[in-house]
Structure 1
Amino acid sequence: MALPDGCSVTSSVEDQEDEEAPLLQKQAEQLTVHPQCCSARYNLAFMMFLGFAVVYGLRVNLSVAMVAMVNTTGTQPLLNASESKECPASSTTSNSSIENPDQPDGVPRYPWNPQTQGVLLGAFFFGYLFTQIPGGYLSGRCGGSKFLGGGVLCTAVLTILTPLAAELGVNWLFALRALEGFGEGVTFPAMMAMWACWAPPLERARLMTISGAGGNFGAFIAFPLTGFICHSLGWPAVFYCCGGAGCLWAVLWFLMVSDEPHAHPRISDQEREYIINSIGSEGGSHGWSVPLLSMVRSGPLWAIIITQMCSNWSYYTLLTSLPTFMDTVLHFDLRQNAFLSAIPYLGGWLFSVLSGVFADKLLEREILSVTAVRKIFTFAGLIIPAGLLVAVGFSGCSGILAVTFLTLSTTLGGISAAGVFINQIDIAPQYGH
């Protein structure tokens, strides 16, 4: 059995919500589950995991490298010493981390003030914003593997050019980072488009959290590794290493991955039939038509949009600005900064994967409905981390308290991976990207 060519739209968002329960019941009672170990769908999840690890390495490298790129002795503070509310620097960090992080001879440094640094760190999201919807639409029509692999490859090539852009000037670096965001904006929608074809309903949470957890794992690895490379080889080497890793992954991706199970050259017949039969007619692309009116009028869709927006706001703010906070407010040196900035994402990685496995177990054993599972994981993964972020604001100049609250917030935020970030595939698989 194969998915029909073009995968025409057969139901609206509301119709697909109503069909959710029978589909899960059919899989649980009638289908023989194909083994997970070494299966094509879990190999795809692992490749996505590595891909998003690379994506987040490409995304956060500037956040740490910025500490080494800026010659802070040449910048003017926003306030004079008597008006500043920053925490006082300790004697062990005042010389090494604030004024002049060590760099090899000949590595350029730039007199960028805090406003310029903020603009450069935010430039990525100017481009990222504009390709989310077009990337999702085209991925659903043309296949997600091309857009996911192409987005990472383009971003990796641009990352290698970062030192050159910095040398040419702030405007060039801003444009380059915006183009990187433009390329990466298609990656998550492309992932959703692929899982609409690949993820059986009762394995949906674990497959998507495994692949998406690559982001947290990539941040966890990238922060300390970037700090080490900056200190040992100079900040330009960070962009060459990250860009090279992205190019290598893209080559492996295009060689090993297919958009849909029936097109995969190395999948077993048993697994192909299991995936296609369990997903049914809901799998595959949406064609050229999209039920925009039904989407605009869908309450569940707006709930997903609002909660994802709130979650992403806090997550990306920390991802972009945490190293700067560690440097300018808490005054950790370059290597401490990189290590402490990474700790929260280790917990986020572990909790996101565990939450996916636990959510699927609740569904397999019919303990809770899909709706209840998604609501519980979304609520716990947003409310508790939000309270802990508020606590950071009251931690004063205590580095221990600040790092503890930040770590707990990002760690427990991983719980939401089995909630709101999967829910769009539940209610409308063909349009979830």
Structure 2
Amino acid sequence: MDRYISDTETDDQEQPLLLSRQDDKVERAPACCSSRYGLSLLSCYGFFVAYALRVNLSVAMVDMLNNTDASGNTSKSVCPAHSSPARPKHNHTVSTTSPARPKHNHTASVYDWDSETQGWILGSFFYGYILTQIPGGYLARKYGAKWLLGLGILVTVVFTLLTPMAADLGAGYLIAVRVLEGIGEGVTFPAMHAMWAFWAPPMERSRLLTIAYTGAQLGTVVALPLSAQICFYLDWTWVFYIFGIVGIVWFILWALLVSNTPSTHPRITEQERLYITSSLNKELTLSGDHIPWGSILTSMPLWAIVVAHFSYNWTFYTLLTLLPTYMSDVLGFSIKENGALSALPYIGCALLAVLGGQLADYLRENCFYRTVVVRKAFSLVGMIGPAVFIVAAGYTGCNYILAVAFLSISSSLGGIVASGFNINHLDIAPSYAGILLGITNSFATIPGMVGPVIARALTKNNTIEEWQTVFYISAGINLFGAVFYTVFGQGVVQPWAVHNPHSHGN
């Protein structure tokens, strides 16, 4: 029987390895020192840079505004001054008596931006980001992902270095620079998905992709506290200069070490090249430029990913862009404490994403769970869990320990979706994974565009009740997305995604 290599539900149960015909089996190439895991690690570094450049403004914004007192706490925080674990014990008497920043820090400019302007500045990145999602997937498929992804992040790096100059010129110029950063970074995820279509064997997809995309959480984890320290000891302008330099180093490594496909990689072993290409040679349909747009846009499994991606990102971007503001304006943390505490939620997110990737592939390969079951189970846990805990965080009042704990648990559980809907594009249409990711990420960018604006509009007085409303909205959207994906998601290669598909049960 001539089967095409598909990670279908039927194949998952009957044949956990890559090929169903005994004479076609290819020995698995070792993971250690392999080119595919090297690509995963360098991709992780790339997404580290991308997210560090994306989130550093969230912390820097606290120090860019002309509304802080000498202690670095916002003058209008809802909660009273408290002694947090992050503060030295001798600081417990009067929290406003010790300066939070060295005297030379006053050389950096500060600005009189109201909450609405802040919302537009924080959300402006996504107005550029949404423009290059679908073009990024198409261009990566047509011309290769290496240079598209590399130059996209490099563009973001260049405009990051120009951020202090733009801020001095005015809020409008800063918004324009952030839009241009978004345009550059918008190609990254579609291009990376398109590259993994050539590099990721079906039974290693969860492992490889979660390692790569964990760079997003690691970038957040490092950028938030480090940005706060930079603001504290230098000034906010250095936040953009230092991370810009880190991005330039990544681009040099990417340009020298990465190839578009295993076949063009100069240092890959023959065993690994054969292992990867043999495991994918009947899933990929790359002959000609024809793209079945009609079938793609009417595919319910794709729309299930769209809804889940949009819903999850609403909560993710709400926390990503506004958590430092919540820590400052409501809980009353200083700029130095703010970055460290704002990063806590993403440490757990990164850890669970990597562990979840290992578990997902183990369940599929060794326990013979169908792909669709694994994707849906991981999506449910990674979306319902965050919804419950983000609502709970709104009811902790000024109990900052519970607030930080619940927000950390919320984001940590969200990391599990990395092995859920987040890589389902490669399950249902590996040949068009970059384009599909561009489509879903376009919709998933909308929360980043409007979420901060709506949240800041709803929290003009920064009361706990106002923030509860923001958290309820995020949780409700998350729950809807989880249910929709559970009902309509699939884990099989769709008929329109293969050149000569054979019939398989769904």
Q: TM-score surpassing 0.5?
A: yes
Secondary structure of 2:165's aligned partner: helix
Secondary structure of 2:259's aligned partner: coil
- The answer (yes or no) to whether the contact 2:26–2:274 under 8 Å persists in 1 is no
Q: Go from structure 1 to structure 2 and tell me whether the alpha carbon gap of 1:286 and 1:250 turns closer, same or farther (over 3 Å shift).
A: farther
Are residue 37 (structure 1) and residue 38 (structure 2) matched? no
66, 69, 72: which is aligned to 2:67?
A: 72
1:249 deviation in Å?
0.5
What residue in structure 1 maps to residue 458 of structure 2? none
Q: Go from structure 1 to structure 2 and tell me whether the alpha carbon gap of 1:193 and 1:231 turns closer, same or farther (over 3 Å shift).
A: same
- The answer (yes or no) to whether the contact 1:156–1:247 under 8 Å persists in 2 is yes
How far apart are the structure 2 equivalents of 1:102 and 1:293? 62
Summarize the alignment of residues 278-297 of structure 1 with structure 2, pairs less than 5 Å apart: 278-283=279-284, 285=286, 287-297=288-298
How far apart are the structure 2 equivalents of 1:217 and 1:254? 22
Q: Deviation string for 1:133-153 (max 9, x for gaps)?
A: 111111111111111111110
- The answer (yes or no) to whether the contact 2:18–2:202 under 8 Å persists in 1 is no
Are residue 140 (structure 1) and residue 141 (structure 2) matched? yes
What number of residue pairs does the alignment pair up? 411
Q: Go from structure 1 to structure 2 and tell me whether the alpha carbon gap of 1:427 and 1:41 turns closer, same or farther (over 3 Å shift).
A: same
What residue in structure 2 maps to residue 176 of structure 1? 177
What residue in structure 2 maps to residue 333 of structure 1? 334
Q: Go from structure 1 to structure 2 and tell me whether the alpha carbon gap of 1:383 and 1:287 turns closer, same or farther (over 3 Å shift).
A: farther
- The answer (yes or no) to whether the contact 2:9–2:371 under 8 Å persists in 1 is no
What residue in structure 2 maps to residue 429 of structure 1? 430
Summarize the alignment of residues 203-352 of structure 1 with structure 2, pairs less than 5 Å apart: 203-283=204-284, 285=286, 287-352=288-353
Between 392-401 and 263-272, report the one with greater CA deviation.
392-401
1:337 deviation in Å?
0.4
1:310 deviation in Å?
0.8
- The answer (yes or no) to whether the contact 1:103–1:230 under 8 Å persists in 2 is no
How far apart are the structure 2 equivalents of 1:96 and 1:62? 25
Q: Go from structure 1 to structure 2 and tell me whether the alpha carbon gap of 1:367 and 1:89 turns closer, same or farther (over 3 Å shift).
A: same
TM-score of the aligned structures, taking structure 2 as reference length: 0.77
**Counterpart amino acid of residue 48 in structure 1:** S
Percent of paired sites with the same residue: 47
What residue in structure 2 maps to residue 87 of structure 1? 79
Secondary structure of 1:270's aligned partner: helix
How far apart are the structure 2 equivalents of 1:302 and 1:320? 26
What residue in structure 2 maps to residue 7 of structure 1? none
1:364 deviation in Å?
1.5
- The answer (yes or no) to whether the contact 1:139–1:190 under 8 Å persists in 2 is yes
Secondary structure of 1:72's aligned partner: coil
TM-score of the aligned structures, taking structure 1 as reference length: 0.89
How far apart are the structure 2 equivalents of 1:423 and 1:380? 16
Summarize the alignment of residues 12-161 of structure 1 with structure 2, pairs less than 5 Å apart: 21=12, 25-27=17-19, 30-72=25-67, 86-90=78-82, 92-93=94-95, 104-161=105-162
How far apart are the structure 1 equivalents of 2:397 and 2:319? 18
How far apart are the structure 2 equivalents of 1:255 and 1:326? 41
What residue in structure 2 maps to residue 6 of structure 1? none
Secondary structure of 1:432's aligned partner: helix
What runs of 5+ residues in structure 1 fail to find an aligned partner?
1-10, 75-80
How far apart are the structure 2 equivalents of 1:246 and 1:85? 35
1:103 deviation in Å?
5.8
Q: Go from structure 1 to structure 2 and tell me whether the alpha carbon gap of 1:356 and 1:73 turns closer, same or farther (over 3 Å shift).
A: closer
What runs of 5+ residues in structure 2 fail to find an aligned partner?
70-74, 83-92, 435-506
Between 16-25 and 47-56, report the one with greater CA deviation.
16-25
